[in-house]
Chain A
Amino acid sequence: MKREKTHIIPPAERASPDLSSGKYLVMWQGPQHPGITGNMSLRLVAEGDTVVDCETHVGYLHRGFEKLMERRLWMQNFPLVCRIAVPEPDFNEYCYAAAIEELAGIQIPEKAVWLRTLSLEMMRLASFLMWIGGQAGAFGHGTIIQWSVTMRDYVLDLFEELTGGRIYHMYIIPGGVRSDVPKGFLRHVLEVLNVVEKNLDDIELVMFHNAIFKLRAEGLGYIPKEWIDQYGITGPNARAAGVARDLRKDWGYLAYPKLDFEIILGTKSDAYERSRLRLLEMYQCINLLRQIIDAMPKEGSFKEKLPNPLHWKIPAGETYVAAECTRGEYGFYVVSDGSDKPRRVTVRGPSYTHAVSVMERLARGTNIADIAGLMVSLHTYPPEIER
């Protein structure tokens, strides 16, 4: 028997549009749309140009990663995990590798700790550079994305030099990292950071002092502070509401406890504030990368010697390892039954709540033209929902 459809939004607050009245327009934004962050779609019900109801639909990029991982050896899953989040695959590599290491009792060398931190911060910068182009583009500002994608390409060049791959790196593996830094690499990183920093100054002037961007982004998608725990909001979306949460500080993983940085906070919690906060975090990221290059050991092993990975059997147990990615808490829950394959792996991506529950709530009352800007301001990425 088909049950009656129920909704999360309380009946008193939820619009109940009579679609046969002719007053409303039902429209789909996505799955292929310039204002959609990846392959997802929004079913919008609009009255005039105001959205009165929104439903997020995902699944267009479901690849069954979690099922596949149960059928493959622990090591064979590395080409899978990095593909769960294209803009920042390294966080997947780190969480999965760290979970295996924890269950197997593997300690990694000090140099590998710093190289992992370097890789994650480079990834953060590349991901933010892609985001800022999308954020500006969602409000009709096409120049920024040309600049920021160029800057991102410089960072991807660095990844190519370090790992051999531009998008998917498979650099972080159990026991450490796959290789040491090539000769001259750290100098190249510093050169690129100088160029990116100069470009960020330009972006700050052109985008954040632009009257149209300010008019459209200020007040858009306000997230009250009390929603942060109710909805499980993390990352810059929480910090823009003044909630000081950053796993780099809270969990103190890798080399972050040895780095000098403060959690950047906002107060206004709207699309403009979230964007401004991410810009500041990009500057912070550049600063962290310079600190890492200064402080990392120049000598030493980058990888613990481990037995043949095709024969690994990870001791039975479970763990949850999380890292602060650009969008918030990114985690891997891993269960081993003592065999040569994972028993269960589940991925906790921040978009799970940001793109579904939070987006559906914030979209109501928003102008159709601002939906794309709202979504990008939440920095969502659907494949980490679908896995």
Chain B
Amino acid sequence: MEITDKLLREIESLARLPLQQDERESLRRDLSRILDHFESLAELDLQGIEPSSHVAQAEPFYRDDEPRPGIGSKIALSGAAEIEDGHFRVPPIIGEEEHA
């Protein structure tokens, strides 16, 4: 599978991981070569085979709905480079979106 420069840029954008111009070409070649090797999977007959998203053969377990205090905002914020008024501070967000 040849990764074109255009496709690579799309992937960089999805991953929020822009490459430097000098990294891009060698990485593009690496990825293409790696994916060429992975083409072997195309030979397999996978009709009707279930995917193995998990290997743990276990009954799932759940939490009881019992609240416990968190770690507190001071510790929550302790690793942040910038805080303001008990919040994580970030540069202005361009483009707003309500989501969930």
A and B are partners in one complex rather than unrelated chains: no
